[in-house]
Every structure is written in C-alpha cells, then in structure tokens.
Structure 1
Amino acid sequence: FDRTMSTSSSDDERPERTTGPVPRQFIKINTKGDSFELVEEELQNVLDAVPEGMPISVVCVVGAFRTGKSFALDLFLRYLRHTDDPAKNVRTEDPPPDKAHEEWLMKDGGTLEGIAEHNKDNGECQQTLKHSGFSWRPGNIRNTTGMWIWSQPFIRHNPKAGAPGEPDEVAVLLVDTQGMFDMETTQMLTAAIFGLSTLVSSYLVYNVEKRIQEDNLQHLALFTEYGRVALQSFQDATSAGPPQPFQTLQFLVRDFQDFDDEDDVEKSVAEQEPYLSQVLDKEAAHKDLKEVRTHIGMCFENASVFMLPHPGSEVPKKRYSGDLSLVNSSFLALFHRLAVSIFGTNSPKPTPKEAQNELGAVVKKRMQNRYLMASELLSYVKNYVNVFHEAVQGEGVFPEAKTLLAATAEANNYNALEQGTKAYRAAMDKICGSKEAYVAPSKITEEHKRHLAACLKHYDRIASLGPKEKILEFRDKLEGNLKDMYDEYIENNKHKAPDMLRLLSILIMICSATYFLSSIINMFCWPPATIHFDFEYADVCTSTLHGMK
C-alpha cells in the first residue's frame, strides 16, 4: 500500500466549505482501487483539536457499499450537534418515545447534510456546498472511498463520570468508511479497510441489510482474525483469562422487516436482544458455524444489535434530495434510540429512563486497560498502514494477524517511550533547564536518578503488549535517551559556571595587583617627619598604602 501521497481519483475529492467542520479523508484510494495511502496531516489536524489529556471514543461505520452508512452518519451528526451543550440537555421528564427525535431532527432545516450530486459529464460526485456532512447520495453508484473522519471532535459527558478512574468528558470522533464489495476495489483492499476500521475503533458499527446473514458473520470473522492471535498471545503470557482484543461491536440491521409493530418504539427495542441471541446461538449452529460465532465472541468485549425499519419508499430513489419530511417517523424514532445508545444523552443529570437507555454509550478507546489519548492514536494508525503495505508487497493476501499484533505492540511501546521522555524533560527543565541558574552537579545527579526511576516505572506500567524482548528493547532505548539528556543537562550547567568563575578571578587579580603595588610603593616610602598631614612626599606615600590596605 502506498505510504506516500499520490494523485487521487476524482471521486476522492469533494469541495470543502470555507468555514465550519467538514469530513477529512485520511485514507485515500488510488485510481486502480488496489492500494491506499495515509494522509497523515489530515488525521493529525483532527487529533490536535482534541483537548490534551482527554480520552477519545472512535465510532466507525463499516459495511457493504450503498447500504446507507453515510446517511446514518449525517443523522448522527445532527444529533451530536444539537446535544452538544450538557446544560441544555437536563430535563425533568421524558418526551414520548415516538416524539423524542423531533427535538433535534429539524433544527438545521428539513434537508439532511451531505447530499451529493453526481456529474454525468465527468463522473464526479460533488457534495452540495450549502450543506456540511459526510457525503452520500441515493442510487447504485459508489460514493465514499477510503476513510473519512469528521474534523470536529464532539465533547460528550461521560455517562460513567464519578466512578473511579472515569473522566468527566470524552471526545467522540466519527469515521466513515468505503463500502465493501463495490466491484471496483480489490478483495485485499476491502479487507484492509475493514481491518483498519476494526483496529482503530472503540465502537464498530457493522451495517447490514434486512437481517444478519451467515456471510456477514464469515466476513467479520475473517477481518477479526487479528483478535484470535492477540487472544492466544495473552493466553501464552498469563494464566488469567485474557481480555478480548476489540471493544464494542454493533450490528446495525437496516430495513428490518420482522418487527411486530415498528411504530411501537419500546416494543421494537425490546425485540433487539432476543434476535441477536438467536443469530449467535452456538448450540443451534453446525460445527463450522459454531466456530465462527465462538470466534466473534472471543474477539469483542460486547456485541449488540440495533434494527431499523425501512426509511420510506422515497429515500432510495435517485431524485431524493435529503428531505427529512419524507423519512418514515418510525425510522426516525428508533434512530433516536440508536443515537442515545451510542453517544448518550450528554446530560450530567439524565432522567432514570435516559440513564437506562444510555448504558454502554460513549465507549472510550482503550489499549491494555488504559484509555487512549488522541496524541497516541496516530502512531497506531501509521503502524497498521505499514503492516498492510508490507503485506501487499508479498503475496497480496490478507496480512497475518500476528504482524498486526506486532504493529500494535510497537506503537504502544513507542508511545510509552515518548511519554517517559517528555515527562523527564519537563521535570528536569524546572531544575536545570536553560532558563534556570547554575545548580550543583550533585543536585542534578540526584534529581536525574529520581526522575529516571519514575519514568521507567511509568513505561513498565504502559508497555505491556507484545514480545518481552521488544518491550525491553524500547525500555533500554528510553533509559539511554534519558541518560543522554542527563549528560546534556550537566554540560549546559557547566556553561553557566564561568560567570561565577570570571567574577572570582577578577577579584583575585585585583587583590594580587593591589598587593604587588603596595609592595613597590612600600620600597620607596619612608615615615613622615611630623604627625600632621602637610602634603610632604612621605605623607602622600603613607596615605596611599593605608588606602590600598
């Protein structure tokens, strides 16, 4: 896979609004549809917008092409934009379930953002400039290529705030992905997009049509093979039960036709879990099908399902322009519950009903039992992209999961090293940095030993993924870096000493010169003839000697 920038295909390029948030393409597909590249700057700019020290939640939507992924994401955007102020989300009573979506759906007007127009002359898909959203359009021509991330992180109240180790707020990042099996993209690239989405996300929405079919499960099992090898690695390293390598998987079933009554929101929601239990029932499946279900359960900490009815007969038509009044109210009412289940209500004081509905929402990205920060995510993405690049240079098959585990471990070790280096520099700069005065070398050595031990302890706590020799390799590198920095601090401190030495040497020179001059004068002086100062030579000579003393 290309890791350097290249000319993008026409359907990769979309007009941008001059102001306001927009989708940013951080994975681009080449014109042949057989390789991709990471646009590091685009991803970095989005991650830089996340407040420092705030955990992130990465919500990715994946699935077959032309199944409404981007359409759903633009509805998510509306919900997130209009519930972004926690103070305005506090309510004393719940609205009727079939009316809750009306609070946010139409606040930006009646046309859904992101609707794109297809230019018949050049084949380009262009997003309408008066709207801002993930690009989508009705019809059977593919629209989204590569991977896109919304440029604005959404700061959400953490439903678990107040619990030990839980932050008050989380930055939510939305990611749209190229649809699978579009007849223009190679199988390898399809696997790569799905695999990369699974590795990066904390909440993976797997968009499927009408029902969960066996081929959906088979593809999911293939793309999460990484999880099986990661799980095996944990089992080899520890005697305790290992955690699943991925976090939350949600099957989003579109155009579900088997609701008892799709207009009854509560009843339709209650039907969701039994349906998933039926699909994933290992006891009822044949041996080979049972293995697939067992594998999925071993790879994801949580699996859920949400079914949505058909949005209405007008929505799939080519002439559909995003008019939300044409969308079935039953679809919108259930979509509201879907949004709450993923993003929460963003209320610091939810009602009992809201608290129940947002259980499991705002899943924070976690790596080795700690929450991941935005500044760390780029390292992982770069490593994963490199893995897929190396795979296509070989036989062009889906890369071994073991190599993906190694990439994750390397990124994790690198982040631990970087954090240790930054912490050491920040601490030592306060003691003997360039702006500080001269410090006794023994004091610098003492502080170096103290902060070195603290940084290595921090590294040992974070760097716990992958082969032990690789962890020790990065640890040795960290220790070497900190010792080099210590040597620099000692050397720079020496340059501050000459100012004091110069002053001391000048004083010694003045004293020496004074002593020498007094000795010379004393050789040519004699006692005055009288005790009175009458300006005789002896009087002047004696006064000079007394002054020098």
Structure 2
Amino acid sequence: MAAEEDRAMPLFAADPDSGELRLQEATLERVLLSDQLRDSPVIPISITGAFRRGKSFLLNVLLRYLRSQSAGGGGDWLEDAPLTGFPWRGGRQAHTRDLQLWSRPLPVTLADGRTAHVLLVDSQGAFDNVSTPTESVVMRALAGLLSGVQVLNVSRQPQSDDLQQARLCAEYARLLASAAGAPHRTPRLVLLVRDWAFPAEEPYGAEGGRHILGHWLAGGDIEDGGDGTDIDTAADWGLAAEELECFLLPHPGAAAAGGDPEFSGAASQLAPEFAERLREFAEWLLDAARLPVREIDGRPLTGAALAALCRSLSEHAARLPPQLEAAADHLAAAAARRAVQAALRSYTTRLEEATAAESLSETRLQQVHREAESEARQTLVACPGADSHNAALAEASSAAYESAMLAALPADGPSVTDVRLSEAHAAAVRAALQHFDSGRDGAGPAAEQQRSALCGRLEGQLAGHRTRNAALRQQEAAAAAAELTRQAVARAQTQYQQQMVAAGELAEPALRQAHQAAAAAAAATAGAAGQAQLSGWLAAQLEPRLQAARQREKQELERKQAEAQAQLQAAQAICGPRHRGITIRIGKKKFSIR
C-alpha cells in the first residue's frame, strides 16, 4: 500500500439529507479485501463516546505507539511532536463524521505466535447536537459489532445517561447481530474514564480502574439523571461485552482542554501526569497478550470475514432501527441470505478447484457440476438459515434464553446453587420455546425438527452455564479463603503489637527474645495460610524496635557520662590543689584529680 494511502477512510457514511447509512465499498476493497488482509486475522479497535471527548486524539496516540512497535520500538514513542493521523482538532465543535477506518493495517504478534493486524476505527460523537439519536445508536452499535476491542470514552464517572445509551445500543446491536449471524457482544470493552478527580481514593491506571469498576458494577456512585429509569449497571454493561475493564486517566492539562488553537497534541503540551498515564494506557491496551481475535462460527475474524460482516450489517442498519414486531422478518431474511451465500461459495469453490488443475471435457465438467451442486445443497441444508424463518426464529429464541440465563447467573457472579440454576434453565427454556412456537411457520416435520434442534442447543448452552457457575464457585471459595486469611493475619498483627507493648522498653538482647516469643504466638494465630503474609511484616517490625533500643542505650550512656563529669568537677572544686593526683571512684569508673 502506497504511503499516500496511509489515511482515514470512511467505512460507513451517513447521507447528509436522509441520514441513511451507506457502506463504502471502496474502503472494503482497498483495505479489508487487500491481499495483505483478506485471509489474515484482524483486530478492529474502536473508540466511542460523547462528542468532543478526544476520541480521535486517543486513536492517534494508539497509532503512534503501533507505528513505533512496527519500527522496532525503543525510545520515547510518545515524542514531543504534533499528533498526526485521524483528523482532529481542539474546541467545542465536533469534528469526526461517520465511521472511519485507518487505511494501513498495523501488524502485531499475538501471545500464541500468530500475526494479526490491528485496524483502528474512529466514530463520530454520539448523542451530540448534530447527529440524530437513531444515527448515534446505529453508529455505536456498528462499532461494537465490528470491534475486537471497544473503548468507551466517559468523563469523570459514568452517568445514568451513559448506561441508558449503552442499554439502547446493546439491544439494537443484539438485533443486528442476530440478523447477521454474528456474536452481539464485544470481546473486550474498556471504560476509559477521563479527568478522574479522586486519585487519593483510587489511583490512576488499570489497577484503580479495576477497583472502581467493581464498585460501579455493584451500583455505587452512578449519578441518576432523575428520570426514574431503572438502572442495572452490571446487566447494562454485561449486555454489551464479554470482558469489561476500566482505566482511569487524569486531566490532560489546560492547553488540551481549553480549546487552544495552538494545541497540537505534542507531549510537552500535556500535563506531565497525563502524558505518563497516556503512555501506560496505550501499552496496556495494546499488549499482545490482551488483544482478542473475534470469532464468528468458530473461525477467527479475517479481513474478508469482516467485509462480509460489514455488508450484512449495512443491509439492516441502512434505515431506522426496525420495530420489534418486524424483528422476525429481518432475522428470517438474513438467515436465508446467509444460507444461499454459503451454498454459492461452496459451489464456486468446488468448480474453481476442479478447473484450475486441468482442462476438463464436457462429460467431466458435467460430473464436477453435479458433485459441486450436491455439496452446495448439503451446505444449504446444514446452514442455520436453511429453513429461513424458523431458523431465524430459533436464533432469536436462543438469544432470549441466553439473556434470561445471564440475568439469573451474571457474568461476574455471584454463583447460584445447582437447584437454582436448573430452575432458571427450565424457566428460560419455557420462555424460549414459547417464543418459537408463537411465531413459527407451519407445524410440519421441518418445523418440529427445528424445534427439536433448538431444545438440543439450549441443553448445550446449559452445559456452558454449569461450567461457568462452577468456575464462579471456585473464585468465590478462593476469595472467601483469602478473606479468612486476611482476618487471621490482622488478628495476629494486633496480638504481636499488644504483646510487644506489654513487654515494655527492653535492651537489645531481651528485645530479640521478646520479639521471637511474640512472633511465634502471632504465627500460630495466623495459621499456615497466613504465615507467608505475616513473615515479611514481622521482619519489618523488629528493625525499628532495635534501632529504638539502641538509641535508648546510647542516651542512657550519655546521661551517665554527663553525671560522672559533673561529679568529677565537683570533687575537683572541693579538694583543691593539695589533693591533685588523688584517684576517686564514681560508679564503676575511676577518675584522677590532676
């Protein structure tokens, strides 16, 4: 790819008059279907959020880091130079329009040794004063469905509006994904909290983000908009992502936030703390061990697969989000298209393979045609969209079952009893089958076969939830054991402190003996599990006490020496010159009067 093509290209563009989203085929052909990407695993990374929150700025930081790594790394990759890449500018007016894709894929080596290519995706600001709510929902839903990693850019902390928007976008994304036959949850969703104002409570970075995220998921500190909307934080975020993380960033500084026309994004124009944490964020987010390759139907997402997904999603997102009563029709049509396309691909591939190797006679060509046709029909029958309406309805019923089970057994726990899980499964199966029966087309053998297949599929999904529940139990048991150990160690530390206070101020030999006795008693209280944590703490307790004892001994010696000197001076005054040379004893020391 030529250097002049290294730029942002529109992937989805909204018509300025109708607002209709249009897929840009030129971008698919030039980037996703290029020889470099067609068969290569790709990891789209998008940043979404409200307008004027610095999404394009952040993407250019990621772009600079990836370029540095491609060039071999080393040095300060952030550099004190203007940021270039995606169009951006400071100020209060939104700049990015549409959904844009960086034209040059950036290679990374994954943890398993495979080479994949990162694709950076920029989106227009959501829910601003320019785009319509429909446009905002569709854009964010598309970004989530296409991304392996999605960064949601929020300020200070999530608001109730953020959650309501996430819920709306996730629900619409699930509808589009069902129609396209794709997973509806983003593999990795990162809440990037800008301008975090409470570093004394939770520090900047991923660790502070992990702590505050747990607090938020439990329902803490989410500011309600006052409209009475029910807020279920964990469910709202869990609907959108398989893995949820958080990173806390400080304020970028006056130059970046104040709309300074001279601000270019150079490192020297950023607040030092912000620049440091920005480096940390880019390296943490793009760590190869943490980059997930999205899968569709068990296969890694390649450039060609991503192009096909874009085309499928474009067909459903071109107009306003469909009404719920029209969902089954959209699902059916999409399933039928997928089935036909898969069959055609099978037929075409078989013919191309046969004719590429040799020139065939008409008789042989007819034979290959019949074989390819037979294979295509088998592919069509095996496709989830073979019976288009009922297959699509089964997909929607399966998704309804999965949502019900996630409500009963949230992704982050807590675990439930086996009885409760079985009850939830039975209720979810009844709801899913009722959904299927109420909308299925016909009552013949084909419909019954689809229903039977759905029942088997739901039982298979239950096995996955049982495994997940068992893993949650193990995590909870480990957490409970860790808490008991922490409490035991805390009791042991208190016991040691009390025993040493009772021992009083001792000289060094006696102090060591007292420490050993108190440490042994504390170790018994902490138990075997807590001794590893306690040992380091005990070692740290002895040295300051020894230093204090040595200081006391030094001060006592100095006091006695001063007292002896005073007594000597007094004796000299009493004896006078006649008694010079006489030796006197004061305590254990002898002094001569000269």
Question: What TM bracket, shorter-length normalisation?
Answer: 0.5 to 0.7
Partner of 2:153: 207
How many Å separate the matches in 1 of 2:285 and 2:378?
Answer: 36
Distance change in 2, residues 1:467/1:147 (3 Å): farther
Residues 477-534 of structure 1 deviation map (CA, whole Å, 9 limit, x = unaligned): xxxxxxxxxxxxxxxxxxxxxxxxxxxxxxxxxxxxxxxxxxxxxxxxxxxxxxxxxx
Q: Do the aligned residues in 2 keep the contact of 1:246 with 1:301 (CA within 8 Å)?
A: yes
In 2, the alpha carbon distance for the partners of 1:323 and 1:137 equals 13
Q: Name the residue aligned to 2:212.
A: 275
Distance in 1, Cα, partners of 2:53 & 2:14: 20
Is 1:226–1:401's contact at 8 Å kept on the other side of the alignment? no
Distance 1:467 1:194, change over 3 A: farther
Aligned residues: 384
Write the distance in 2 (CA, Å) between the matches of 1:169 and 1:40: 26
Contact 2:87 2:95 in 1 (8 A): yes
Following the alignment from structure 1 to structure 2, what is the Cα–Cα distance between the partners of residues 338 and 400? 42
CA–CA distance in structure 2, aligned partners of residues 466 and 223 of structure 1: 29
* Equivalent residue for 2:78, pick from 91, 101, 105: 105
**Are the aligned partners of 1:78 and 1:104 in contact in 2 as well (CA < 8 Å)?**
yes
1:294 aligned partner: 235
- Kindly provide the amino acid, as one letter, of the partner of residue 194 in structure 2: R
- Summarize the alignment of residues 149-298 of structure 1 with structure 2, pairs less than 5 Å apart: 149-161=101-113, 168-226=114-172, 245-260=185-200, 268-281=205-218, 289=230, 291=232, 293-298=234-239
The CA distance in 2 between the partners of 1:271 and 1:466, in whole Å, is 49
Distance 1:190 1:243, change over 3 A: closer
Unaligned runs of 5+ in 1: 1-16, 90-99, 114-132, 162-167, 345-357, 473-549
Stretches of structure 2 that go unaligned for 5 or more consecutive residues are 393-594
What is the correspondence of 1:71-86 to structure 2 with a 5 Å cutoff? 71-85=57-71
**Quick one: structure 1 residues 284 and 418, their matched pair in 2 at CA, closer, same or farther if it must change by over 3 Å?**
farther
- 1:380 touches 1:412 (CA, 8 Å); kept in 2? no
TM-superposed CA distance for 1:269, in Å, is 2.6
Say whether residues 1:334 and 2:277 are aligned partners. Answer: yes
Determine if the alignment matches structure 1 residue 30 to structure 2 residue 19. Answer: no
Deviations 1:383-441 (A, max 9, x none): 3233233437x8xx799766775676466546534542342122211455xxx2648x3
- 1:39-78 to structure 2, matched below 5 A, reads 39-49=24-34, 50-78=36-64
Residues 398, 449 of structure 1: alpha-carbon distance in 2 compared, 3 angstrom cutoff? closer
User: Structure 1 residues 253 and 283, CA, compared in 2 at 3 Å: closer, same or farther?
Assistant: closer
Tell me, in whole angstroms, the C-alpha distance in 1 between the residues paired with 2:65 and 2:82.
Answer: 14
Match of 1:139 in 2: 91
Q: Supply the AA of the counterpart residue of 1:137.
A: R
Distance 1:18 1:232, change over 3 A: closer
* Contact 1:406 1:466 (8 Å CA) reproduced: no
Where does 1:453-492 land on structure 2 (aligned, <5 Å)? 463-464=383-384
- 2:381 and 2:60 map into 1 onto residues whose CA distance is 42
**In structure 2, do the counterparts of structure 1 residues 203 and 400 end up closer, same or farther at CA, with 3 Å as the change threshold?**
farther
Q: C-alpha offsets along residues 192-234 of structure 1, whole Å, 9 cap, x if unaligned?
A: 2112212222222111111122221110011111455689999
User: In the alignment, which residue of structure 2 is the partner of 1:489?
Assistant: none
Give me the identity figure in percent.
23
C-alpha separation between the residues in 2 aligned to 1:369 and 1:276?
Answer: 30
Residues 294-347 of structure 1, C-alpha deviation per residue, up to 9 Å, x if partnerless? 243144211111221112111123322333211123323322332233332xxx
Q: CA deviation at 1:284?
A: 10
CA contact (8 A) 2:44 2:121 kept: yes
Deviations along 1:50-90, one digit per CA (max 9) or x if unpaired, are: 333211111121110000000001101101111115xx35x
Structure 2 residue identity aligned to 1:175: V
1:277-302 deviation digits (Å, cap 9, x = unpaired) = 11112699999746453243144211
With over 3 angstroms needed to count, the CA separation of the structure-2 counterparts of 1:298 and 1:141, relative to structure 1, is closer
Residue 142 of structure 1 deviates from its aligned partner by: 1.2
Match of 1:318 in 2: 260
TM (norm. structure 2) is: 0.56
- Are the structure 2 counterparts of residues 466 and 151 from structure 1 closer, same or farther at C-alpha, using a change threshold of 3 Å? farther
Deviations 1:151-200 (A, max 9, x none): 11112112233xxxxxx111211110000122122111111211221222
- For the 8 Å contact 1:33–1:185, the answer to whether it is kept is no
**How big is the alpha-carbon RMSD for the aligned residues of Structure 1 and Structure 2?**
3.9
TM-score (ref. length: structure 1): 0.61
